[in-house]
Chains A and B, each alone.
Chain A
């Protein structure tokens, strides 16, 4: 019924928007603690009102549209960036379902049978906003930022797609709800740990986070594609970036960490989502918070990698590795089916970790060759 859809869509947008606001606070506080500072703690208790103060500041800032820009595209670009980051969450299940007003209300907006294809396509559309912003700014730095960003996102999307393939093979479906249900017995991150790791690395590049925040490299490109943006238009880019972080963590949790489901060993206890539906969103929230912590942690620790190395890392390391991992997963399941022996299935995690280690040793050899054997 359409009223239900509208309401659920509205609630999802609200969740993402407030989530974005509090993610900025979370990131600033966590980052500050890692740098032995306190972070914003003045506005409200523990700085909880800081996002509101930031929003008010950004709204009242002067908005400047430089004279040399292509105006239509310049205004359209932030919108094109924000909208995909909002609608991509439509297929992600936030929980199971509950009964209300005599009807079953499901905690997702769309039960799409090609959910993963939807994710892929929307994630690709998000690149347009960035490219158009860089191009329409009529500024060399913004242009370079946009081009770098698109090249990076397209390169890493291949490995992202192959990681999706791993989840599709393991879940035997493209429907995100069914993938989550398939993880009732065991999270896919346990069956395919290397795949989950590669997925996490690739998502860092997809949302332009450190250490792959090349399009926004302040030192090299002033601010990349959003150099010419100010005020609320800049805030939209900022918003899109942080919403993408949240959404991609939701997707990572859904595909590899059991989605809204509990730990597999709590399957038949009180803590199971099957017995208490309201635990679903809570579990998902906790998983997203933990995954976001990893993103912040990595930002606090590792320096940005050089652009050519970024590209060669994506093409020469992640792409072959994820191909092999997808192959191993498929083979394991196929053999387990053929010989009706679960041993083949349970060899997948060990073989994939072994392959990951072999791949890492290739990186080492590559680095050693480039440094002429100096280490």
Chain B
């Protein structure tokens, strides 16, 4: 310890702040313009997925509603016909509502879903100005389709889509 150590230590501190002032790159993300990518297992807003041919994965089984600890999900199901087919198998969700004020983003609905229809996706920009807006309906949750022909409901050949739950591969992620 030298006599001038207090001064040297104080100057070291000054040097540190000056160095970050001059040379260090800021860590800030300019949020609305520049978004930080989310983690692969991030749990954001729900989405109702479709099969590659455009049919909805959701079969209206209400298992997600049963699993939901916050009781945020409401499902009402109806019968599919080959004339008006929404999803494979017998039934589809005619009403699917999630109250985003109640949802705690636990992901239990994802786990409960037998068809991997409901997925907590990357979107975290949820804002609403009243309670009505907080209820997300089926058309808000359902992912959009690529082409006109893939829209549901649609007329299909009879006897093709008889199985509600697809043959599962090994579940990933």
Contacts and interface: CB of A to CB of B under 8 A. Distances in A.
Nearest to B19: A34
Contacts of B25: 36
Given A302-B10, A360-B6, A297 B26 contact: no
Interface in A256-282: none
Nearest to A300: B17
Contact of A363 (B6, B18, B24, B28): B6
B13 to A, nearest CB: 5
Interface residues of A, number: 20
Which of A298, A301, A375 has the most B CB atoms < 10 Å from its CB? Answer: A301
Given A360-B3, A361-B4, A36 B13 contact: no
Given A37-B28, A360-B7, A302 B20 contact: no
Contacts of A37: 26-28
B128 interface: no
Interface of B is mostly: helix
A85 to B, nearest CB: 27
A36 B3 CA distance: 33
Contact of A34 (B1, B17, B27): B17
Interface string B1-39: 101111100100110111011001111101000000000
A36 B4 CA distance: 30
Given A37-B27, A38-B28, A363-B6, 19 more contacts: A32-B26, A33-B26, A34-B17, A34-B21, A36-B20, A36-B25, A37-B26, A37-B28, A38-B26, A38-B30, A297-B18, A297-B21, A298-B14, A301-B13, A301-B14, A302-B13, A360-B3, A360-B6, A364-B3
Interface of A: 30, 32-38, 297-298, 300-302, 357, 360-361, 363-364, 367, 375
17 contacts: A34-B17, A34-B18, A34-B20, A36-B20, A36-B24, A36-B25, A38-B26, A38-B30, A297-B21, A298-B14, A301-B14, A301-B17, A302-B13, A361-B4, A364-B4, A364-B5, A367-B6
